[in-house]
Amino acid sequence: MFINEGSAIFTRLAANSSIISELGGTVIFERFVPTGQTKPYVIFFESSGGDVNETPRDTRNLVVTVKAVSGSNLQAKRLAAYIRTSLHGAEESMSAGSGWEIYRSQLTVNIEYPVLIDTKQEYHAGGVYRIRLNAT
């Protein structure tokens, strides 16, 4: 069975009109951002986790980083708040594809930090989310 938690996350983020408005479009990426991509954008990726292996039933416990990257600290923080609204406690409206159910989606850690790249400051803000899934 193929787990498509990335599609579930993308769908929830893209459905939030505040995120899309703040970004100026659906500028949401899984794992990689295209070279030369202008800011702001949202990126998410599986940070850790995997099979639980506590019972014979297939269960996954994933840790996913979801963050906004912007040239503005305030904008990155606003986007982080919208991301939280979209994902924290949203398991009932998330689908991980055929054969899997998401039974928990929760923010575990807030993240926020500046990065200096080629004399230009950019800001990262978002969170680390725990996504728990069961095979159906």
Rounded Cα gap, residues 68 and 22, in angstroms? 11
Rounded Cα gap, residues 113 and 122, in angstroms? 9
The answer to whether the bond into 40 is cis (omega within 30° of 0) is: yes
Q: Are 125 and 67 in contact (CB under 8 A)?
A: yes
pLDDT at 25: 95
pLDDT at 122: 96
What band does 1 get if pLDDT is binned at 50, 70 and 90?
A: very low
| 3 has pLDDT over 60 | no
Percent of the chain whose pLDDT exceeds 90: 59
Phi, psi of 117 (to 5 degrees): -125, 120
pLDDT at 62: 84
pLDDT in tens, 55-68: 666 777 788 999 99
pLDDT in tens, 84-95: 999 998 877 677
Global pTM value: 0.88
Least confident of 37-41, 57-61, 107-111: 57-61
Domain positions in the chain: 5-135
Ramachandran category for residue 117: left, alpha or beta (phi over 0 → left; psi -120 to 50 → alpha): beta
Residue whose structure tokens are 């505040």: 18
Cβ within 8 Å of residue 72, ≥6 positions away? 40, 123
Domain 5-135 part of CATH 3.30.2000.30: yes
